[in-house]
Amino acid sequence: MSEEKMVSLNTIDDQLIKKAADEGIETMWDRKKAMKAPCGFGEKGVCCRICGMGPCRVSPVAGKGAQKGICGATADTIVARNFARMVAAGTASHSDHARDIAHVLHMASRDGNYQVQDEKKLIALAQEWEVPTEGRDIYDVAHEVAEIALNEFGKPFGTLRFPDRAPAPRRKIWEELNIMPRAIDREIATIMHSTHMGCTSDAESLLRLSMRTSLANGWGGSMLGTELSDIVFGTSTPRMTEANLGVLEEKQVNILLHGHDPCLSEMIVAAAQDPEMIKLTEEVGAEGINLAGMCCTGNEVTMRHGVKIAGTFYQQELAVLTGAIEAVIVDVQCIFPSLAPITDCYHTKFITTSPKAKITGATHIEFNEEKALESAKVIVREAIENYKNRKQDKVFIPQSKAQAITGYSNEAVIKQLDRVVNSNIDPQGTVKPLADVIKAGVLRGAAGIVGCNNIKTKHEYSHIEIMKKLIANDVIVVTTGCAAQAAAKAGLLSKDAIKLAGKGLQAVCELVDIPPVIHLGSCVDNTRIIRLVSAVSEHLGVDNSDLPVVGVAPEWMSEKAVAIGTYVVSSGIDVFLGITPPVTGSPEFVDLLTNKIEDMTGAKFFIDENPLTLADKILERIEEKRTKLEARLAKEIDYGVIKPEEEVEETKELA
């Protein structure tokens, strides 16, 4: 039990885990226990099973035990190949997500379920891609833009379009390293090819391939995902919400939206407001429909509609254990297959909707994008009709929730920054105020804290400890994914949290009217962060790697996180990992990630499983980058300050 008490920051989680034990239900913690000690070979990345001669496992210790696989692949090759495949899988996940949204944009019509919500953003993108907009029907523009977007996945020639958005020095680095991404799917396929038996056997080459593929994610798939979602579903603006399992309602139909793709969740939100559905809700005796989001789909709908956040990745089983959920509606990514047996213990319907993610034991109601709203209503109807089956004696809704502000798209961030622009000096709509406070040192730097939950560490402890330490030291935090939801639950996304910030960040938060931790969205929305950083770099005339900016994944878990971390480092931003990736079997590859890669990109990985020392390293690195940046900017700016010799005379006069 003592181990279970340490699972998370939330005492309510312990109560639910106890409920699971009492009811004889297996959770991830039980499975972790059953797993016993993890395999050291897999943990260190030195196990290879890519051909029929294996599986091979080589010794992580040089000069001792098997040093090579059957084919002769060394630990360096095996580790780097495994890492590259993680990057490929992560990139594939984000990109396929984006592809669906591009398809939806392509099918958008004036009277259809999917429409263009943000015309301004569409037109800006059309202009960026040189699609004529003048005098054209917005839907014709949309379809042409969508087609170009879809071609980004598999165009035969050239490189991707979005990398043009990066600062010039950064593009030059990518060109020199030959890692400018070509087509998104092509990069993923190249990795799968190069990591095939008997192909690339050079750790540095594999890392470069990983970097290029990851860039096809960050400056390709994910960026398309964010951009096109904003166009179809609207660019988010700040709004209030609530977070944690306490958002579930005793007398309402609780629908848990879990997964990633807003094409589904947006329609569920619309269906839940449909008069027909509301009438049905009354008929079953419920007081309403309560949508609650989880994981990134939760982030998408909370950003755009303020839908409440039920919880993070690790709480998906716990949410069902409340016994108060009529349906768990899922699409793709980060969905525990264990939700099938757990929901079987309750009245809860576990509904899969995507042909890309069918789960044995779940009810599969395929979501049809051609008839999106109808399709969503069928799914919501299942949930509502299930209300009467709720077993009241099994219901336990923990009374815990926190207030949060979400909805900060980059556009919304810039709008907040406009509040502090003096109209007699500067134009509105730029990142200058942010660049100014970073340059002046009022903010020491900025950190993007992102990523998952991981059973290897106490849930959310690392997220929250690091966030608190950074904001107390005048480092502004932007956050996405499950890290953002952890922040929401801990109250860090509220303006009350300003009191936890250092004086500099406090001053900024008060002037700009923002919380010290800013929710930028889902995991594809990490591209908002790299764009914001790039905008500040361009404003200051430097590269991303010159800025005191870091990325942190304190509790990362998925291959998507590996791809994200890699594109962030490739974009020139240091990445701090709170969970050690399976690479330690190759000291050479560890050296590449945590040292040599800096010579290539100006940024590197830092790995430390202790969140407190990791936070110290972040602050240290931020100051290190500041010193260099200040020296560089001081050369360019006169500052109008009298030279020291003149000062001496003035002092004499004073005395």
Partner 1 sequence: MNLFQTVYNGSNVALNAAEGLLKQAIKEKGKDHNVAFPDTAYSLPIIYAATGLKMATLADLEGAIGVVKSLIVEEPRLEPALNAGLATAVSAEIIEAIKYALNDAPYEAPCVGHISDATIRALGVPLVTGDIPGVAVVLGKCPDSETAGKVIKDYQSKGLLTFLVGEVIDQAIEANVKMGLELRVIPLGYDVTSVIHVVSVAIRASLIFGGVEPGNLEEHLAYTKKRVPAFVNAFGPLSELVVSAGAGAIALGFPVITDQIVTEVPTLLLTQKDFDKIPATSLEARNIKIKVTEIDIPVGFAAAFEGERVRKDN
Verify binding: residue 626, partner 1, rule CB under 8 A: yes
Of 27-35, 399-407, 437-445, 559-567, the window that binds partner 1 (rule: CB under 8 A) is 437-445
Residue from 356, 441, 580, 594 that binds partner 1 (CB under 8 A)? 441
Residue from 502, 515, 516, 611 that binds partner 1 (CB under 8 A)? 502
Distances (CA, A) of 220 to 166, 180, 272, 480, 595: 12, 11, 33, 18, 26
To 10 degrees, what angle do helices 138-154 and 222-233 make? 160
Please, what's the largest Cα pairwise distance for the chain? 88
Q: Do the beta carbons of residue 151 and residue 97 sit within 8 Å? A: no
Q: Do the beta carbons of residue 242 and residue 403 sit within 8 Å? A: yes
Verify binding: residue 142, partner 1, rule CB under 8 A: no
Residue from 99, 121, 305, 444 that binds partner 1 (CB under 8 A)? 444
Quick one: tokens of 560? 């998507």
User: Which 293-352 positions form the footprint of partner 1 (CB under 8 A)?
Assistant: none
Q: Among 69, 32, 35, which Cα is nearest to 54's?
A: 69
Verify binding: residue 511, partner 1, rule CB under 8 A: yes
User: Taking CB under 8 A as the rule, which mask of x and - marks residues 585-624 in contact with partner 1?
Assistant: --------------------------------------x-
The answer for residues whose C-beta is within 8 angstroms of residue 607's C-beta and 6 or more apart is 576, 577, 580, 581, 593, 594
User: Cβ of residue 410: shortest distance to partner 1, in angstroms?
Assistant: 18
Verify binding: residue 425, partner 1, rule CB under 8 A: yes
User: Cβ of residue 407: shortest distance to partner 1, in angstroms?
Assistant: 22
| 51 assigned to a ligand binding site | yes
Q: Which is nearer to partner 1, 385 or 436 (CB)?
A: 436
Quick one: tokens of 608? 């430390």
User: How far is residue 478's CA from residue 533's CA, in Å, rounded to a whole number?
Assistant: 11
Quick one: tokens of 10? 């939330």
By rule CB under 8 A, what count of residues binds partner 1?
A: 39
Q: Which is nearer to partner 1, 52 or 644 (CB)?
A: 644
User: Which 398-417 positions form the footprint of partner 1 (CB under 8 A)?
Assistant: 417
Q: Among 550, 536, 545, which Cα is nearest to 620's?
A: 550
- What is the 3-state secondary structure of 140-206? HHHHHHHHHHHHHHHCCCCCCCHHHHCCHHHHHHHHHHCCCCCCHHHHHHHHHHHCCCCCCCCHHHH
Residue from 420, 455, 580, 594 that binds partner 1 (CB under 8 A)? 420
Virtual torsion, Cα 190, 195, 198, 204, nearest 10 deg: 100
Q: Among 500, 502, 517, 475, which Cα is nearest to 622's?
A: 475
Verify binding: residue 500, partner 1, rule CB under 8 A: no
| 482 assigned to a ligand binding site | yes
User: Taking CB under 8 A as the rule, which mask of x and - marks residues 532-571 in contact with partner 1?
Assistant: ----------------------------------------
Verify binding: residue 513, partner 1, rule CB under 8 A: no
Contact set with partner 1 (CB under 8 A): 417, 420-425, 433, 436-437, 439-442, 444, 473-474, 502-504, 507, 511, 623, 626, 630, 634, 637-642, 646-647, 650-651, 653-655
Task: Give the residue numbers of the binding site for [4Fe-4S] cluster.
Answer: 39, 47-48, 51, 56, 71
